Amino acid sequence: MPPPAPLADVVAPLRADPGRAAILLDVDGTLAPIVRDPLAATVPERTRRLVHGLTGRYALVGCVTGRRATAARQMLGIGTIPYAGNHGAELLVRGAPVAEIDPDAARWAERVRAVLDFETVERLREAGVREEDKGPIVALHWRGAEDEAAAEDAARLVGQAARARGLDVHEGRRVLELRAPVQIGKDRAVRRLLDGSGARSALYVGDDRTDADAFAGLRELVADGRLETAVCVAVASDETPRALLDAADAVVIGTAGVRDLLELLLA
């Protein structure tokens, strides 16, 4: 595969016709630096201002995140854009007070949570694993645990039990997610955000395995003739999956590189 192209070249079609272009952004690791406790993550004010500036120029600006959609909106502080949360299981439209949850995923929420009974939660906490209840998804985080290897092993044992109960298990950057066994993914999320937008070109920026699904979703829309151009940008760090970098049209370095990209889009 050829090396990723220079940023200015790959974003030129979007900048040439912003009124028919969409900018879709992951949150953690893209707009917000990764931190030990996901609840402590923040979007820098400079980044927030740049995203807000994009809303006045492009046909659509939206976020696609593994967080709950309302949590991502609160974190970014922009209520005038849509958010696809829980990897596409939720859609929070502009200005809505609550997100629309995929009904198939919602029906599984109690069974997803049931994997974490009292004894399981105690074992995870003793190992340094933090659980995050997101409704149809429960995330197990071990970043920053005293013994990350032991914490990861504990999380994976729970993942095995979840699979035995018919749930899906997905891996991220030092996190394991227990999910409802329904069609959830950032490929579906980008489709939902783009529906009715009038966009003919779209950019997606992300840093983790699930963002490769968004890349694939945009390229499928090009193949279907619903988009003319799809631009996929990977955010590189020492934890970025090789497969995401290989699938990207361009690569930026860390959240600082994302800010440079946003400035380029506004130039």
pLDDT (tens digit per residue) in 167-178: 999 888 899 999
Same domain, 19 and 127: no
Residue 3 has pLDDT above 80, yes or no: no
Each residue's pLDDT tens digit, 179-217: 988 888 899 999 999 999 999 999 999 999 999 999 999
Buried b (16+ CB within 10 A) or exposed e, 112-132: bbebbeeebeeebeebbbbbb
CATH code for the domain of 118? 3.30.70.1020
Same domain, 39 and 93: yes
Domain membership flag for residue 175: yes
What domain range includes position 148?
105-179
Least Cα distance to 112 among 151, 69, 163 occurs for 163
Domain membership flag for residue 81: yes
- Residue at which a domain ends, from 179, 200, 221: 179
Domain membership flag for residue 260: yes
Q: What is the mean pLDDT of residues 54-76?
A: 95
Same domain, 113 and 227: no
More confident residue, 31 or 40: 31
Q: What is the mean pLDDT of residues 216-222?
A: 97
pLDDT-derived band at 4 (thresholds 50, 70, 90) equals low
- What is the per-residue pLDDT for 135? 81
Same domain, 246 and 191: yes
- What is the per-residue pLDDT for 37? 83
- What is the per-residue pLDDT for 36? 83
Q: How many domains does the chain have?
A: 2
| Strand arrangement, sheet containing 100-101 | 100-101, 90-92, 83-85, 60-64, 21-25, 201-206, 229-236, 250-253
Same domain, 201 and 261: yes
Residue 81 has pLDDT above 80, yes or no: yes
SS3 sequence of 98-167 = CCEECHHHHCCHHHHHHCCCHHHHHHHHHHCCEEEECCCEEEEECCCCCCHHHHHHHHHHHHHHHHHCCC
Each residue's pLDDT tens digit, 84-104: 999 889 999 988 999 999 888
Q: Residues with Cβ < 8 Å from 30, sequence gap 6 or more?
A: 205, 206, 207, 235, 255, 258
Same domain, 74 and 160: no
Domain membership flag for residue 206: yes
Residue 5 has pLDDT above 80, yes or no: no
Least Cα distance to 29 among 264, 187, 209 occurs for 209
Whole-angstrom distance, CA of residue 8 vs CA of residue 176: 35
Tokens representing residue 234 in the block:
């990977």
Domain membership flag for residue 24: yes
Domain membership flag for residue 68: yes
Residue 223 has pLDDT above 80, yes or no: yes
